[in-house]
Amino acid sequence: MLTKLKAKVQSAIKAQASIAHKVGLTPNMVSFTGAAQAFLAAFAYTLGREQLPWAVLLLLLSGYCDMLDGAIARLHHKVTLFGGFLDSLLDRYADSAIYTGIILGGFCTIPWGLMALIGSLLVSYARARGEAANIKMESVGLAERPERIIILAAASIAEIYLMNAIETAIIAIAILTHITVLQRSLHVRGTLKGGKTKDNL
């Protein structure tokens, strides 16, 4: 849903992308930085409520890097197949770390946490499999990665003042991600049935 908005934001950070490029940062370096910030955010979650401000900050910085690496790649013609593969792989590690940190920090019950984690991974897997069949998957579904980061960040801020806000968000993500998987599955089925792929859209 927010992929179109993400594209607009990426356009707005072209200046930052140019600066990053001038100082020698590559898209892959930014991707690794974002993953590292996600792992630090996960660690902050494991430390409990006192570290939630750090968890939120690091989570948002990780999301920012996820936009910045793509902006650098497009603006300076550094888009590569391996770069896309690496970015996607690091995003999955980042997602896994964040949900694990939330579970270990006691912010949600284990079953709901695992459901949210599995759903998040399957949303990405469904996109990868669809795109492997030359089907356009961008913007398909309710809970893409930007939505999940925003939900978690907002809930983490709310958790500072309101108990169980993160658990509520995790439950919502668990439900929405599996709905998204269903939406993407139906999209792939309908596209293949209609004979419409990227090659002939």
What are the 10-residue block averages of pLDDT along the chain, 201 residues in total?
A: 59 82 91 97 96 97 90 85 91 97 97 98 95 90 91 96 94 97 96 74 51
Among 120, 138, 36, which residue's Cα sits nearest to residue 84? 138
User: Is the separation of the CB atoms in 112 and 172 below 8 Å?
Assistant: no
Among 91, 6, 132, 13, which residue's Cα sits nearest to residue 83? 91
CA–CA distance, 166 with 168 (Å, rounded to integer): 5
pLDDT at 15: 83
> Would you call 52 helix, strand, or coil by DSSP?
helix
For the record, the structure tokens of 110 come out as 């284990």
Q: What angle do CA 92, 93, 94 make, to 5 degrees?
A: 90
User: Is the separation of the CB atoms in 69 and 61 below 8 Å?
Assistant: no
Neighbours of 181 (CB within 10 A): 22
pLDDT at 61: 96
User: Is the separation of the CB atoms in 177 and 143 below 8 Å?
Assistant: yes
- Which residues have C-beta within 8 Å of that of residue 38, sequence separation ≥ 6? 58, 59, 62, 93, 94, 95, 97, 98
Among 155, 125, 154, 153, which residue's Cα sits nearest to residue 141? 125
pLDDT at 197: 65
pLDDT at 33: 96
Catalytic-residue membership of 66: no
CATH 3.30.70.141 is the classification of domain 3-194: no
CA–CA distance, 14 with 164 (Å, rounded to integer): 38
